[in-house]
Structure 1
Amino acid sequence: MKLSGLVKVVSDTEQQLRQLIRRFLPTIDANSCQISLVEGLSGKSWRIADQKVSLLARPQTVQRQQLGINRRREAAALKRCGPPLAPRVILQQAGWLLVEWLPGECVDPETFNACLYNGQLAATMAQLHQCGCSGYRINLQQQFAAYWQQIDRRRLTPRWLAWQRYFSHGNMPTPLMLAPLHMDIHADNLLHSAGKLQLIDWEYAADGDIALELAALFRFNQFSSTQQRLFLSDYSQHGYRDLARLTQQIARWAVWVDYLMLMWFEVRWQQSQDSALLQQGAALYRQFCLPTKFSC
């Protein structure tokens, strides 16, 4: 987007948010509060701050919808899993979700590894998975179908078509245990505050199998086999107890997570034309789309 276009978007969005504040949040001074842009992997959000409060405003845009983001579903998950694990929902209205801005900095890679090795990450995720379901079930096959309509047709291959048929109509693993899932846990979505971990950016949260969440955690963060065993040993002390069965179920979900990642990278690249996204998904593209001696 050109600079002039971005300036107009920022100006229009600020005006829209100030009108929203005047109507639904009268305790905030809509004229004097500061509204600033916050960039994320899935798109733009906005921080609203005055002397009393600090909020994060997340829009429901066509681009977000194409990525599978639903603010109503996100709000339901946050209300189930809220403080201290997640930010509090302040307002859901007129295509916007406003949540409290949690203080603190996202964890760095060193802290993330420390939380993995001391068991804090596993304990936090077990706490998440013990919250009540939100009522919004994740539907991977529906998401694959939606993503399929948005990818660059010039990149399609016969092998990719075969995988799409498999994932669209194949039998998914039968859930071990249904729970609210965050589905985007990595260092940038974790805050370390007062000795505890908090989760932010719940855009992809929905109810689903705990093993799907753990498969996503392992694949997104490229955990080694040693790191996976360590995490699961700690997790089984707080959450699902049958470690052998959980390990097998995570392995079943792994290929589904890999395909989800491929499709997300492809759709997000279509939206942004950022070549870095294709580079990040290159290994997945070779895995699913280019000829090999293996078939789906």
Structure 2
Amino acid sequence: MTNQPILHLPTELITWLKTLPDIDYIGAGTANQHWRLTCGSQRYIWRERIHHQPGSSQIAERLALQCLDGRSWAPKVCLYLEEGILFYDQATHTFDPQTLTPSQRQHLLHSITELWQIPFQGHQMNYTALIKNYADLAGHGADTDALASSLLAESYLWRDEMMCFIHQDIHPGNLLLSNKQVILIDWEYATRGNPWIDAIALQRMLQLTQTERQFLMHHLPTYPAENAWSRMSLWLTQLDALWSRAQTKQSW
């Protein structure tokens, strides 16, 4: 039997709820634990921060969520605290990319392309600094330096005018299903960045049809080299590998 973690609710959170809730552990990611808090008929999700991850930013997440307030595909935030974020529990089903209906897939793709068009006052991602930071955290060696060099060479092709508001961490664990709609959570990596990163994440998760790819390409900036999908797929795979090395070293 696996021991579940123990939740210590911040005093400010209990004050906001005005009562002690019933608590159910949902699961954990690399930097957060998710809990369902039930107060009578009202349910909330408390996303408790465990530790900081390389490249993530609480400030960027708060800016992103404030910018997205009122969007049907963004979480409805109740409370921001240093220890975590409280939002309404809108989930009606477990998110499973294999069982999404065509309309749910379409809703997700439309949500992402809508995101790319929203003005965002947050910082623009400095991919050179990000990659070098990951390499420093991972500890330099032949393999790490080769990964970093390949990532840097590709990112040097990207122009400033390509950058827009992106989520930058799309995967099944960061998505909720509410009836026919998909809700994106965990915005700690949100930034003004390269939207091809979101597109490749969707390709990985959904195995996009040609029609779906064409829909995204209508909203994507022209890539400054041929074979954009394969080049960006390799780039994101390499970035994940470098991030994993940095995260592993940091947790020692």
TM-score for the superposition, normalised by structure 1: 0.68
Q: How does 1:25-174 map to 2 (within 5 A)?
A: 25=16, 28-30=17-19, 32-47=20-35, 48-61=37-50, 63=51, 65-82=52-69, 83-112=71-100, 114=102, 119-151=106-138, 157-167=141-151, 171-174=156-159
Higher helix fraction: Structure 1 or Structure 2? 1
Aligned residue-pair number: 248
Note the alpha carbon deviations across 1:38-82, whole angstroms, 9 max, x for none: 323323324232115333333444x3x233222221121122223
Corresponding residue to 1:178 among 151, 157, 163 = 163
Q: Structure 1 residues 60, 136: CA separation in 2 closer, same or farther (over 3 Å shift)? A: farther
Question: In the alignment, which residue of structure 2 is the partner of 1:256?
Answer: 235
Corresponding residue to 1:233 among 202, 214, 221 = 214
Structure 1's unaligned 5+ residue stretches are 274-296
Q: Secondary structure at the match of 1:259?
A: helix
Note the alpha carbon deviations across 1:245-281, whole angstroms, 9 max, x for none: 79855555334312211023334445679xxxxxxxx
TM-fit CA distance, 1:84: 0.8
Corresponding residue to 1:19 among 11, 17, 26 = 11
Q: Structure 1 residues 210, 103: CA separation in 2 closer, same or farther (over 3 Å shift)? A: same
**Aligned-partner Cα distance in 2 for 1:107–1:247:** 34
Q: Structure 1 residues 68, 243: CA separation in 2 closer, same or farther (over 3 Å shift)? A: closer
TM-score for the superposition, normalised by structure 2: 0.77
Note the alpha carbon deviations across 1:214-234, whole angstroms, 9 max, x for none: 13333x4383xxx36332222
Tell me if the contact between 1:107 and 1:191 (Cα under 8 Å) persists in the aligned partners: yes
**Aligned-partner Cα distance in 1 for 2:47–2:98:** 29
Tell me if the contact between 2:115 and 2:165 (Cα under 8 Å) persists in the aligned partners: yes
**Aligned-partner Cα distance in 2 for 1:167–1:236:** 22
Q: Secondary structure at the match of 1:66?
A: coil
**Aligned-partner Cα distance in 2 for 1:132–1:96:** 25
Which of the pair has the greater relative contact order for Cα pairs under 8 Å at 6+ separation?
2
Tell me if the contact between 1:56 and 1:101 (Cα under 8 Å) persists in the aligned partners: yes
Question: In the alignment, which residue of structure 2 is the partner of 1:196?
Answer: 181
The residue type equivalent to 2:57 in the other structure is N
Corresponding residue to 2:191 among 192, 200, 206 = 206
The residue type equivalent to 1:54 in the other structure is R
